[in-house]
Structure 1
Amino acid sequence: MTWWVLLVLVPLFPVSSSEHNGIRVMTFNIWQSGANVENGQQKIAKHILMINPDIVALQEVYANVTRNLTMMLGHPWVAVERNHSDYPDTAILTRHVVIPATNLSTSGGVGVKIMLRTGYTVGFWSLHLDYSSYGPYAANNKLVDRIEQIMAGENLGRGPQINEILNEMLLKKWLAAVDDVPIFVAGDFNGPSHLDWTERTKKIHGDWVVRWPATKELEEQGFVDTYREIYPNVVSDPGITWSTVNKLNPEWNYTIPEPQDRIDFLFYKGPVVPYQILTYSGCEKPQRIPFHHANDYPSDHFAVFADYTFI
């Protein structure tokens, strides 16, 4: 499939909420920029067009990939990348107007203000937190017997990264005006939610209740986890985003189950109300690793998108 075909795709979700006093946002880990499936970058663009969002948070972005994607998506799509030329890793795509001199870059992500063509302005962050010392691996390791062992990786990587973002002076200015201009924090946190690892669910999480710091710190700053606001029942609506294709861990020759969890999030704060949120992996069931190369959906994460109304 060529990018000329992509430009004439009919969206699977054709009604953009920005046309109805609202906004549709998406987070999409693009799995090494589509390198793991055939024609991966074309498929990334295809699925963005299928969802038809106003703003997309991208993770695992290689150099020059956003240039290719905006060409395939067509006018008026533009990109903002984290300030790292060799491996930006995180980026934001939008078909609206990026406000100059509002870019923020940290070790964990990139943020910018965007003016929608309807006149509304939002602050938007794309995050990709540290992948090392993945907490659920420790929690499901039968040799771990103290919560401090699970939290060690969080306190080295993901916890400090979320605090770095929250302590950015420009973000603090955004927060001071959040009653008028909402802020979205979206991305792959490489860690679960404290709202999901509770007494009620600990039997499926290695018998642990864990205060995962990245989501907890955002909650303490007044940000709302969109998925859990709409689907508060963790048992009936787990919202798993990891993984579409990684079900048995390849590091153990596919003999050990890969923990399945919700690690991709859409948080918001300010004058918007969410009314729909979905996880997404295309219309064709992705084939598991190691049979994934011909998959139509190019990622090992579910994408997540949500619609909000401005109030």
Structure 2
Amino acid sequence: MKKIFLQAVCCLLSIGGFAQAPVYRQSFDDKAAYHTGKGIQGAALDLGADAAARKPLYFPYVLKDHNGSYSVQCWLKASPSQSRYTALAAYAPKGTAYTGWQLGVQENGAWFWEMRGEKNMYSYQPTPQRQTVRDTKWHQLTYCFDAEKSEASLYYDGLQVAVYFIEGIPAMQQADTLFAGGREQGDRGEWNTFYGAMDEITLYKEVLSPAYIAKSYAAFFPMKPAAQLAPGKALKVMNFNIWHGGNETGKDAGPMRVAEVIRNSGADIVSMQETYGSGEKIADALGYYFYLRGSNLSIMSRFPIENTLPGSRSFFNGGALIRLNAKQKVAFITNWLSYPFDYWDMQEKKQPLNVDTLIAKMEISNAGQLRRTLETIKEVTAAADEIPVIFCGDFNSGSHLDWTEATKQFNNGYVVKFPQSLIMQEAGYKDSFREIHPDPLKERGITWTPEFPNAFKDRIDYIYYKGKNLKALQSEVLNRHPVRWPSDHAAVVTTFSVR
């Protein structure tokens, strides 16, 4: 019965135009070699308390020496526990460490994914509030590795919950064994065996499409439709440097305050800097899609991330194509620029500032990086009238629109034509905040810094945009939280109409 049902599902998917076929499938029909229980359809591998024999199972890893993209899918149901277990893995020992990937369950009941290369390690550890596998229900986990883009796409119950840029991970598979239930440990080999049930392990030599994965889950359980921007409704976006992952006001309290700021603002898409390990928690608290470009930058979106965009260095730039609805999408880009020296501290201490030196050094650092980024995304910018572009970031720089003759009183008498804002203007981008608030004497838009009252004040965080189908309606700076603001930067929020 199980095989007939799966064949019917595969046929349905193929008829629907999703003819992606596994190169390996491991089902768990009743066999004396291991204990089985009721599976997603038919029998499943039972490694729970009722199984007398609980040794992990080892299978040949058919992706060994495969040098390209691949996908892994399985069904899990973890038993009640407070322990962390590996459920499915393929890795090769490297001294005291390993290279490869693993899927499993965290102590808190949520699942996890981990990938290790010889030098780099990446992990996704979502929250049990949104992504538990320890609730007595079956859950489908899918991991796709895109060799060309160096990306991992992660799915929970048919929904793409995260995309990670994983530079430094080789495409070549070195493991020769697929471990189901972990690896043998202890005298009986069962010490650290996954505690729960597993079913339907499938491997593919390609990246599965989101539609295929959604249909493979919906063959067993209903899925909620993806969020869409209703026609005529405004789009609200935010840029927020959250200051060391939001952890400076507490590793739990801080990220939750960040999530509250975003939720209360109504922001649909967020450009985030200094994500630093808090992205999963914040995105899960919001129920948002999550793209981690690197340790620093991330994008969170109420609407599906259809694809990622070309970017320059991952610490400084990344972007994604956001599907707003069936007819509309937007190219959304997040950025962080370094600074050559701390001119804010000099201003605070009333030290003399050589404007020519500042501009010359910024041309090398901030502006140089910005030019490289704009060169990388020039095709995205050129197509802005078809797909509008929103370009956000912490620029670590003032704006030539703010440091004028009229505002010298705020800037210790200096007028500075900062190159970064001029570069964006020359590239055809509009500064959304200054477009809505053109007079810097009336609305300064200060984002640096709400944390240090005596520090020199400046506007260094921006939301730029380009494209005939996008228009800024409102823009504001947020720096208040009912308990305590979690960052040393204010957040910028702009509301757009989208045609």
The bucket for the TM-score relative to the shorter chain is 0.7 to 0.9
Residue 216 of structure 1: aligned partner: 422
SS in 1 for 2:256: helix
| SS of structure 1 residue aligned to 2:274 | strand
Whether 1:30 and 2:237 are equivalent positions in the alignment is no
Identity of aligned residues (%): 30
Return the offset for 1:118: 5.4
Match of 2:491 among 285, 303, 306: 303
Deviation string 1:62-118 (CA, Å, 9 cap, x unpaired) is: 13x2122222222xx111122x4xxx2111111112123535242422111111135
- 1:67 aligned onto 2:280: yes
CA distance in 1, matches of 2:244, 2:393: 15
Q: Distance in 1 between matches of 2:229 and 2:328?
A: 9
Q: Residue 396 of structure 2: which of 183, 187, 190 is its match?
A: 190
Inter-partner Cα distance in structure 1 for 2:440 and 2:328: 33
Distance in structure 1 (CA, Å) of the matches to 2:427 and 2:492: 22
C-alpha change, 1:140 and 1:42, in structure 2 (3 Å) is: closer
Distance 1:156 1:115, change over 3 A: same
| Aligned position for 1:276 | 474
Distance 2:272 2:336 in 1: 9
CA gap of 1:157–1:222, structure 2 versus 1, over 3 A, is same
Using a 3 Å threshold, how does the CA distance of structure 1 residues 242 and 308 change in structure 2: closer, same or farther? same
Q: Is the 8 A contact 2:261 2:481 kept in 1?
A: no
Q: For this pair of structures, how many residues does the alignment match?
A: 272
Query: C-alpha deviations, 1:112-148, integer Å up to 9, x for none?
Result: 1111135311111111111451334455665536322
Q: CA deviation at 1:279?
A: 0.9
Do 2:432 and 2:465's aligned partners in 1 also have CA atoms closer than 8 Å?
yes
Show CA shifts across 1:238-280 (max 9, x none).
Answer: 11111112123xxxxxxxxx11111111100002111111111
Q: Distance in 2 between matches of 1:51 and 1:198?
A: 31
CA–CA separation in structure 1 for the residues paired with 2:353 and 2:260? 45
1-structure distance, mates of 2:326, 2:441: 38
Q: Which moved more, 1:202-211 or 1:128-137?
A: 128-137
Larger displacement relative to structure 2 (39-48 or 222-231): 39-48
What SS does the corresponding residue of 1:239 show, helix, strand or coil?
A: coil
Aligned-pair CA distance for 1:45:
1.4
1:89 is aligned to 2:296? yes
Alignment check: 8 A CA contact 1:158 1:214 kept: yes
Q: Secondary structure at the match of 1:300?
A: coil
Out of 330, 334, 341, the residue aligned to residue 122 of structure 1 is 330
Corresponding residue number in structure 1 for 2:443: 237
* Paired residues of 1:18 and 1:54 also in contact (CA < 8 A): no
Contact kept in structure 1, 2:242 and 2:273, CA below 8 Å: yes
- Note the 1:1-150 alignment, pairs <5 A: 18-19=229-230, 20-38=232-250, 39-63=253-277, 65-74=278-287, 77-82=288-293, 84=294, 88-106=295-313, 107-117=315-325, 119-138=327-346, 144=352, 146-150=354-358
The C-alpha deviation readout for 1:34-75, integer Å capped at 9, x for no partner, is 111031111111221111211100011113x2122222222x
How many angstroms apart in 1 are the aligned matches of 2:239 and 2:353? Answer: 34
Instruction: Give the number of the structure whose residues are more often helix, by fraction.
Output: 1
Contact 1:138 1:149 in 2 (8 A): no
Residue 160 (structure 1) aligns with: 368
- Residue identity in the other structure for 1:176: A
Is the Cα–Cα contact under 8 Å of residues 239 and 493 in structure 2 kept in the other structure?
Answer: yes
State whether residues 96 and 115 of structure 1, in contact with CA within 8 Å, keep that contact through their aligned partners in structure 2.
yes
C-alpha distance in 2, partners of 1:3/1:240? 37
Structure 1, residues 180-214: CA drift from partner, whole Å, max 9, x if none? 11101112111111100011112321211111111
What is the aligned partner in structure 1 of residue 103 from structure 2?
A: none
Q: SS state of the match for residue 235, structure 2?
A: strand
Displacement of 1:310 after TM fit? 1.7
Is the 8 Å Cα contact of residues 28 and 58 (structure 1) preserved in structure 2?
Answer: yes
Aligned counterparts of 1:208 and 1:3: Cα–Cα separation in 2: 52
Q: Which of the pair has the greater relative contact order for Cα pairs under 8 Å at 6+ separation?
A: 1
Q: Which runs of 5+ in 1 are unaligned?
A: 5-15, 249-257, 285-294
| Higher strand proportion (structure 1 or 2) | 2
Unpaired runs of at least 5, structure 2: 1-126, 130-226
Q: Retained in 1: the 8 A contact 2:241–2:273?
A: yes
Distance (Å, rounded) in 2 between the aligned partners of 1:145 and 1:280:
30
Contact 2:475–2:494 (CA<8 Å) still a contact in 1? Answer: yes
Q: CA RMSD in A?
A: 2.4
